[in-house]
Chain A
Amino acid sequence: MLNRLKVLPRDARDTLFLLAVIAWVIMPQVGNLPAWCSLLAGGVLVWRGWLALTARPLPGKWWLLGLLAVTLGATLYTHRTLLGRDAGVTMIVVLLALKTLELRARRDAFVIFFLGFFTMLTNFFFSQSLLTAAAMLIGLLGLLTALVNAHMVVGRPALMAAFRTASWMTLLGAPIMALLFVLFPRLAPLWGIPSDAMSGRSGLSSTMQIGNIASLVLDSSIAMRIKFEGRPPPQPDLYFRGPVLSSFDGREWRPLPPGLSQRMPPSSGLVVSGTAVNYEVTLEPNNRPWIFVMDATPGTPRVPGFQPTMTPDLQWVVDRPVTDIVRYAASSYPDFRFGPLSAKGNTLIGLQEYVDLPPGFNPRTLQLAADLRRDPRLATAGAATLAAAVMDRLRTGGYRYTLAPGVTGQHSADEFWFDTREGFCEHIASAFVVLMRALDVPARIVTGYQGGEINGVDGFWAVRQSDAHAWAEIWQTGQGWVRVDPTSAVAPSRIGSLQRLQAPTGVFAGALGGISPDLAARLRQGWEALNNGWNQWVLNYTQSKQLDLLKNLGFEAPSWEDLSYLLIGIVVFVSLCGAAWTLWERTQHDPWLRLLARARRKLVAAGIQVPPQAPPRELARQIKLHYEGAETARGQALHDWLLRLEHLRYAPAAPANLGARARLATLRREFNQLAWPDR
């Protein structure tokens, strides 16, 4: 096969190469495209490759029009529109593939290249990771290689030669890229972005159905990175609060409808004590208006470009979804108390929603609650005692923590308490809250992230999607809302240590982990530090960072106009340098000729007449004449020097470039030591 490739006619070889590059550019998209689109594009590319290999004619224009019509129809069917981001990406990919069937004129080739560049950009809608960047760099080199190759019109040049030129161009273009990237003003979007722009990113959800978080656990991507000032707090304090879910319909936990939660005063009486933990969070986009901070954060975190507000549930939200990496600073107090301290009046006013249970669900759990209440010790006990009793039951009742709890039926709490006796944090929390409510204790579920681990390479604390967690809060008289994490009773190791259940890994990672878990961990840490650097320096490079840079460069009050001026200034400066170089190149700058001219000027200064075009030998003759009779030794030295100058240029035997530069340098040095004729 390889041999066959080597003897392919140039046309076929170039076409196959271009097809391979196009396939490479489209490949990362496949997961985000409709299946028909991937299949169609792949099919067309394979078909085109076969036509090139067998030197068959290209299909007629009716074929193309037919395929185009099919594409339009299918896009309309899939996306319900031809506009917008996802429909656009689908169409561009198919158009790129279809255009290869129409490679006739030079213009067609250019259209393919430019569509290819655009397809590369569309990859970034879905991922801007380091891997994507690397893949697209290869794609760019491939496209440029194909473009350069297309312009090597003579013979059958090696693809390697084109690749070398393309690599050089990219390498030399990199400083220009860096300059523009750093200084090009980051503008706000020029016009509204279609609503589907930011879909396709995962994370916590605003509701909790059993199984939601367990699916997140398989996702070990980073949710956020934290740089603590000083030592990180102990692991059991690291609860990052997300949505609080208080309304249960038997299957799904939701936040309270807005009208109900308004009943509690917004401040909720948050009282903090102890020392603050200060830290900076780099939050990955989660496509939700949530930012995550540790419990509890009384002061507003500084989130550039957003307006954070605290909900009555103590969660911090911002005014629009987080669709890009954001960085913010916060200070939190692990010691805190909040919520109404006493239930005024007859019953739990404002807390009624937190004891509601849907009728017809979990009868056995209700029965369990009734049984517990019959226990004389618990009959009149407060919330804290009841919770302790339930936690005790979790600890001693043979309950297990598992990532694969199986499918739950209608009575999820019943199944957990009595049948399967195993579950993931969301099962445990849900069952716990149901039981507490059955005991008339106000309780609710809090979702968020718990724990994380430190990256030994760059010192950032990484919190992953797999750290997503659900825990419970119960209301106690005199205490307000108190966090209870039932999962810690079932699996103490889940909270408070680095050990945790590992989601099944890929074959390679598994094999590596099998050989050397330590090496695997270190590799992973190195990789993540690299990724974090990428996020911090490239993806999170915003206008505020640009302006910081200007401030460091000495601008008093930088604005984006200053950025433009700086950029324009640099461009002008570089252009002037280029112009100066051109001027210099136009003047005489052959070092040998310059040295000869200097020697001639010495002679002219001494009154010896030599024409401007005189060769060294003529100068030597004049010197000899000048010193005839007197000071012959001095004349001889100059004479010899001039003849050696001549020899350097005109000696026939010596290879032209062999040590010429060094010998010229020697002659130049000697020029200064020679005793030139006096004025």
Chain B
Amino acid sequence: MTPAPSLPNPLTSPVGHLQGRFRQWWQSRLPLTDTLALTQRNVYILPTRPGFMLGATLLVLLVASINYQLNLGYLLTFLLSGSAVVGMHVCHGTLRGMTLHLIAPNNLFALDTAFFDVKLINSRRSPRYAIGLSVLGTGHWSWTDVAAQAEALVRIAFRPEKRGRHRVPALTAETRFPLGTFRVWTVWRPAAEVLVYPAPEPLAPPLPPGEPRSGGASAASAQATGEFDGVRAYRRGDPMKLVVWKKLAKADELVSRDTQHAQRYELWLDFVQTGLPETEARLRRLCAWVLAADRLGVDYGLRLPGLEIRPSCGAAHRLACLEALALC
């Protein structure tokens, strides 16, 4: 879903371009898997800026110890160095040996803030602290601790940009525990795929008028009543079977089916009739309409280039329509 970040122009920034190419090449080598066991081979470590600061501090301490001939100063310097070295191993050990497991996300709408869950499994007998996860390159970290021989669930937020069937974006796990002098991280390409529907148009126009069933009356009269979609507000005396109960459950408002209208018209959401020039914009409007029609509980059909879904209603129908929109 995160498209490969566009490479910098090789002419203006050759180094950036090369770095980007290297990153792409590196990531493409990573295996696709939904369960990643972290081992020596896929956990990386580099000193951070505070790490270099600590190194400089140790150097100053050493020089002071030498110059003032302080044996206790040597002890302090070396104890601190020893702790830092152990800290490096602790830092690496925080990730190494852990298992990450992706819980495949549900399908989502583009540009919507979505979440998916990653399970962190710690089989060792000591807890692992301060592990951050994020979608690679976003910098939005979710931090967690994993207790000894336990699991933790981390919810990672992300924002799919484009509709279609995509692989879950590459993830990264990172820790700087315990001293902050080293950064230990891993990069993970999950195999799971997720279907992203077009983002619904925010303020879409009302649903189009129904089309007359084969040889019915013109749409003009329906337009005059302002009831395009075969429903109208509940009127006293409407029979119970005409009430759209689904709508009541969802929105707490009484709506009745316009029997006459429903009998004579059927609602078609047509790619061509959206009145927009661009394909993506059309799909977004159609998506908004599908959702609106579904909310009203009326039957609707979808017409896309090369695909036609007969009018119907219900969750399965809605999914079929959204999927068609996503993959169009």
Report which A residues bind B (CB closer than 8 A). Answer: 85, 106-107, 110, 114, 117-118, 120-121, 124-125, 128, 132-133, 136, 140, 144, 147-148, 150-155, 157, 161-162, 165-166, 168-170, 172-177, 180-181, 184, 187, 189-191, 193, 197, 323-324, 538-541, 582, 585-586
Contacts and interface: CB of A to CB of B under 8 A. Distances in A.
Given A176-B81, A177-B75, A177-B82, 10 more contacts: A85-B68, A118-B61, A118-B64, A121-B76, A147-B178, A173-B86, A180-B82, A184-B78, A190-B63, A197-B68
Q: Is the interface of B mostly helix, strand, loop or mixed?
A: helix
Interface stretch (B49-57, B206-214, B222-230): B49-57
A106 B183 CA distance: 15
Q: Is the interface of A mostly helix, strand, loop or mixed?
A: helix
Nearest to B61: A121
B20 interface: no
A125 B70 contact: yes
Nearest to B178: A148
Interface string B19-43: 0000000000000000000011100
B29 to A, nearest CB: 18
Interface residues of B, number: 47
A165 B72 CA distance: 24
A139 to B, nearest CB: 10
B85 interface: yes
A585 B37 CA distance: 13
A177 B67 contact: no
23 contacts: A106-B50, A110-B180, A114-B53, A118-B60, A120-B76, A121-B76, A124-B70, A125-B68, A128-B70, A133-B75, A140-B80, A144-B179, A148-B178, A152-B130, A154-B130, A165-B178, A176-B78, A177-B81, A181-B74, A189-B67, A190-B67, A539-B72, A541-B71
A170 B145 contact: no
A172 B143 CA distance: 27
Contacts of B132: 153
Contact of B65 (A121, A174, A324, A586): A121
Given A147-B179, A174-B79, A169 B86 contact: yes
B67 A193 contact: yes
Given A152-B129, A165-B178, A539 B79 contact: no
B79 A148 contact: no
A184 B82 contact: no
A85 B67 CA distance: 11
Interface of B: 39-41, 50, 53-54, 57, 60-61, 63-87, 90, 127, 129-130, 132, 143-145, 176-180
Given A173-B81, A586-B40, A154 B179 contact: no
B81 A180 contact: yes
Contacts of B127: 161
A471 to B, nearest CB: 34
Contacts of A118: 57, 60-61, 64
Contacts of B72: 124, 128, 132-133, 136, 538-539
Given A117-B57, A187-B66, A190-B63, A176 B82 contact: yes
B175 to A, nearest CB: 8
* 7 closest Cβ pairs, A-B complex: A173-B82, A176-B82, A173-B83, A177-B78, A180-B78, A177-B79, A114-B57
A91 to B, nearest CB: 15
Contacts of A180: 74, 78, 81-82
B178 A181 contact: no
A157 B54 CA distance: 25
Contact of A189 (B54, B69, B76): B69
Of B61, B63, B74, B127, most buried by chain A (CB within 10 Å of CB) is B74
A152 B90 contact: no
Of A85, A154, A190, most buried by chain B (CB within 10 Å of CB) is A154
Nearest to A136: B76
B86 A172 contact: yes
Given A114-B53, A586-B40, A124 B66 contact: no
